[in-house]
Structure 1
């Protein structure tokens, strides 16, 4: 049996017996077969001595059981690592940040505590998935929509706490920003509610975010200050209609005016649905990018340029696209609401973007919602319709890399400025890395506009079962971090293998942010039992020799990836 760090076999055996009295013996997992489920199936340290694996797992059923488990963990100084459903693929899965931790698996806590159609909110426990919430709304016939990531099998609460995002209207896409009110078990075993929930009998816990005094909800996002057992979310009313509109512009550098203009439209709330950037030179899927089926073939002359192993020459691509009548950039908009509102929004969008020479606008048919079942069945992505699915997995994995089978991916996720110049720079930088290491991927990659005022440039790198290849991937990520840090692009989210590396880049004023977070950690978790090391936050007794990377490029490059 694997032991938690700095815990004796005698103490661990005693603690497991006490855990079992709380949750029942059948919900204490210690066998190798059971613990296999708590490995990160996409781990870049798979099978190596530094792979982060659990010593045991516990599955409580109530918040009250969580309280008792946390008290026992404190008594024996046992590190625990809460997870919601463990579906955080590409960012660590169900595995702990510190090897030997006891995973606190909250999937049995799957109650929808309250749902209010009139005020548009829901309160959920950690084990409630997007599928669960969607089905509950359908079963009750409620006039509510959810915003879901792709795929939709993960926890609503867990996705928000890790900074997950979706694809519908701007106020709901950033899932943590859509939350209102948290119940949390603190590292000392005391239960707390934030915001208006701190007042017993409060009637507006899920309606007024600030509450009284400092708003502390953000302390529980990407942190290790407690076990969140309930969370409220604002839900959106179902729109009457949906339409997709497409604007194309002819030239490579038109992306600068395109992005600037759309930014002003978003800041004015004329554009609220997600818009996506792509290039018709790669071929198109038809009138809507979420339709099923392969892209249509590009022009042969364009294809030859895109296939150049030395990289895509944008001047040549622009010339070939112009000769074939193919626009260089396309922006597709999802528009929601009454028909008159959609048409008015589209008029404003076309009026603004029409000032770019050669811009063309097309509004596809306005379709009443909900769409017919047969039409939904033909869509690749139902996320923009508030419907969770697993259809993203139909794309299939990367097949192989460096002669090894690919089993998954790990994300590199920098945030870059919302400008056309930054998009061009990032596309060039990351394309050069792709060519240098012969990474799989399309010849052109684009930033995502999923955030309102910044671009996300998520890159999925292949993970194998080869220690040699995985070491290479870790090295590539180190290089990507170094390059991005030098340009002022920081990652917003990462897998546990890279927590220290990324936190090291947030080094303003000699790591003042990290020091502040760890000052809080020392105060609320003096025994260091709550998710030690998660997002590189540690308590005082475990900080010595932890190998924090400093903020300089040279030191980041040399940072430990073990």
Structure 2
């Protein structure tokens, strides 16, 4: 094949050598699982980043179904110096979608490696391949009458536990810190070797999914958000289904209430009275899930304050909408509910809402479903907020992490709003409070069908990273277009140690070059 017959070529790889690599991929995987034409690659091209998608085109997509095939793909890539970017279910919308880090990289798509290898009813563990989706696992639990909740991100159904955990994503149940609930990985290294972490390296071990640490250095962490290996199996822990589940919300009417309510509820989270992550979602975050902005405002720039107030009044939303849940026996839930009620009522500002009153209404029902691991796609409504005409579809998650203190929310909300409004965008945000940390999730929504607006979105996101870092606020995940900028905020020492590990484990740099700012 000539270079004109490929949609892109990896940097430094000739068309002749790439054609040889493609032929070897086909021999291993079958021609139907090696995609190289414009037509077959089209579903993989679109990203939601504010970039020219042409700059992030892959040269091919290869679809493996076994660990042995993954090993073979890696060996071929080593032979021809072809870089390879791995995806599992592949739809990581706010963090890059299928987009590779460098034009011409091959995408290794593991969606067909979708076996639920085992689920232990007694111990609440599961061993999964990377292509398993949350919907698939949810259905499996239901069909086999297994008494467990899933903890999933939002939107959940088409995402996968392995991919989400590898990027250190979070969920909304008491098991919402997903990497904490991971136990054991099988990883294909850059040289084609297979590593089983923790107890998995012991022949015949029965404790691979129950004891995280094994012997010697703990390795699982270095494979998350990195490019040191390809995860082909992962163990996770499942939350036992409680006898009683009680979701609730609290509505607050004023923007500045956020400072008080984070401090008000933090002791309940620290004491595990509220055992799951508490979500504090602003008006626009909740509104975007159920309506488009054009219902109230079709002008340019950010939404005016008076329109925002109209949305609150007519859609029944607060300036801040708080969601959490109680889990356990009836006695436990009753005691903890009385504690929650007492704290909120004594404060005197928030209005408590429960499933008895608001079940079936949105957005309460969506949040209630999410906190018990039900499958939902509602959060895709965010993508029609700026443009409900079926065009555009620009989104970037900006996710700085800080301490769970109210004072931080005032500073971060003000700074984010100023920067977003400066570029004509809305502050669409929520705070998710873990035990002591606070994830500030902001969706930078824009119309990608507008070249001018796309340029503004890029500049806006760049400034968000810069200005937040100046105040000590760094993000914990980011899309492919900004990985180097974020890596720089963590300091040269961390970048150097990451490079050292990369050179040791992947001396040719073939695995996901540039992932998290890590290169050789």
Quick check: TM above 0.5? yes
8 Å Cα contact 2:10/2:104 also seen in 1: yes
- In the alignment, which of 179, 194, 199 is matched to residue 196 of structure 1? 199
Q: What is the SS of the residue equivalent to 1:173?
A: coil
- Equivalence map 1:205-354=2 (5 Å): 205-247=208-250, 255-277=258-280, 307-308=305-306, 331-353=322-344
In the alignment, the residues of structure 2 paired with residue 98 and residue 249 of structure 1 have an alpha-carbon distance, to the nearest angstrom, of 45
8 Å Cα contact 2:48/2:393 also seen in 1: yes
Instruction: Check if 1:413 corresponds to 2:399.
Output: yes
Aligned-pair distance for 1:404? 12
Q: Deviations for 1:203-252, whole angstroms, at most 9, x for unmatched residues?
A: 11000111111111011111000110000100001122222344567877
Aligned-pair distance for 1:476? 0.8
Report the counterpart of residue 36 of structure 1 in structure 2: 42
- In the alignment, which of 506, 509, 519 is matched to residue 525 of structure 1? 506
> Any stretches of 5+ residues in structure 1 without a counterpart?
299-304, 540-562
Q: Deviations for 1:381-420, whole angstroms, at most 9, x for unmatched residues?
A: 522221112222345513449x995323112211133111
Instruction: Check if 1:134 corresponds to 2:138.
Output: yes
> Relative to structure 1, is the Cα distance of residues 250 and 527 closer, same or farther in structure 2, using a 3 angstrom cutoff?
closer
Instruction: Check if 1:102 corresponds to 2:129.
Output: no
In the alignment, the residues of structure 1 paired with residue 363 and residue 462 of structure 2 have an alpha-carbon distance, to the nearest angstrom, of 41
Aligned-pair distance for 1:437? 1.9
Instruction: Check if 1:516 corresponds to 2:497.
Output: yes
Which sits farther off after the overlay, 241-250 or 492-501?
241-250
8 Å Cα contact 2:386/2:447 also seen in 1: no
Report the counterpart of residue 68 of structure 1 in structure 2: 72
In the alignment, the residues of structure 2 paired with residue 93 and residue 360 of structure 1 have an alpha-carbon distance, to the nearest angstrom, of 38
Aligned-pair distance for 1:365? 6.0
Report the counterpart of residue 481 of structure 1 in structure 2: 465
Instruction: Check if 1:364 corresponds to 2:354.
Output: yes
Aligned-pair distance for 1:449? 2.4
In the alignment, the residues of structure 1 paired with residue 373 and residue 134 of structure 2 have an alpha-carbon distance, to the nearest angstrom, of 10
Instruction: Check if 1:385 corresponds to 2:367.
Output: no
8 Å Cα contact 1:183/1:231 also seen in 2: yes
Report the counterpart of residue 555 of structure 1 in structure 2: none
- Structure whose alpha-carbon radius of gyration is higher: 1
Report the counterpart of residue 19 of structure 2 in structure 1: 13
- In the alignment, which of 455, 459, 483 is matched to residue 443 of structure 2? 459
In the alignment, the residues of structure 1 paired with residue 459 and residue 349 of structure 2 have an alpha-carbon distance, to the nearest angstrom, of 42
- In the alignment, which of 506, 516, 538 is matched to residue 490 of structure 2? 506
> Relative to structure 1, is the Cα distance of residues 342 and 293 closer, same or farther in structure 2, using a 3 angstrom cutoff?
farther
Which sits farther off after the overlay, 344-353 or 497-506?
344-353
Q: Deviations for 1:167-190, whole angstroms, at most 9, x for unmatched residues?
A: 111xx2122221100000000000
Q: Supply the RMSD in Å over aligned alpha carbons.
A: 3.5
- Give aligned pairs, total: 500
> Relative to structure 1, is the Cα distance of residues 328 and 133 closer, same or farther in structure 2, using a 3 angstrom cutoff?
closer
TM score, norm. by length of structure 1: 0.81
8 Å Cα contact 2:95/2:478 also seen in 1: yes
In the alignment, the residues of structure 2 paired with residue 454 and residue 440 of structure 1 have an alpha-carbon distance, to the nearest angstrom, of 21
In the alignment, the residues of structure 1 paired with residue 30 and residue 240 of structure 2 have an alpha-carbon distance, to the nearest angstrom, of 41
Q: Deviations for 1:433-466, whole angstroms, at most 9, x for unmatched residues?
A: 2322221456xx5423257522323232325134
> Any stretches of 5+ residues in structure 2 without a counterpart?
1-5, 297-302
